[in-house]
């Protein structure tokens, strides 16, 4: 079992989500986060260009069984990068999962995913 944490551009959320659903990865958690990266996004406030030092991003957490890790990551990369991925397209972190329990049934491990 792996936990896939993807940090992507917020405007790519719809595309990534649609692509994941098409790939039958339907259990995801999404939150809005802010962070530092190499990307510099200009914004305009009162006629002055400002480069915010914390850039809003979307973070997706997807827990999957091992056979699905590759397809999940590929789907996210294809959808979030677009045709010509630019700086700021995001990152994916993969971590080992110790366990998983479904609250309703108390199922554990891979079948709870």
Binding site for other proteins (CB under 8 A): 10-12, 14-15, 32-34, 42-45, 52, 54, 56
State the minimum distance, in angstroms, from the CB of residue 110 to other proteins: 31
The DSSP code for 93 is E
33 vs 94, which CB is nearer to other proteins? 33
49 vs 106, which CB is nearer to other proteins? 49
Rounded Cα distance between 60 and 88, Å, is 16
State the minimum distance, in angstroms, from the CB of residue 100 to other proteins: 27
Residue 63: its H or E element: strand 55-64
State the minimum distance, in angstroms, from the CB of residue 23 to other proteins: 17
Helix ranges (DSSP H) in 36-96: 69-81
Q: Which of 58, 65, 59 is nearest to 3 (CA)?
A: 65
């Amino acid at each position: 079992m792996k936990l896939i944490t993807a940090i992507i551009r917020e405007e790519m959320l719809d595309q990534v989500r649609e692509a994941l659903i098409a790939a039958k990865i339907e259990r995801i958690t999404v939150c809005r986060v802010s962070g530092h990266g190499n990307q510099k996004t200009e914004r305009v406030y009162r006629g002055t260009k400002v480069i915010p030092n914390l850039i809003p991003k979307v973070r997706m957490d997807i827990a999957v069984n091992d056979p699905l890790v590759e397809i999940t990551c590929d789907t996210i990369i294809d959808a979030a990068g677009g045709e010509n991925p630019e700086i700021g397209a995001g990152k994916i972190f993969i971590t080992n999962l110790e366990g998983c329990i479904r609250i309703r049934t108390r199922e554990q491990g891979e079948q709870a995913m």
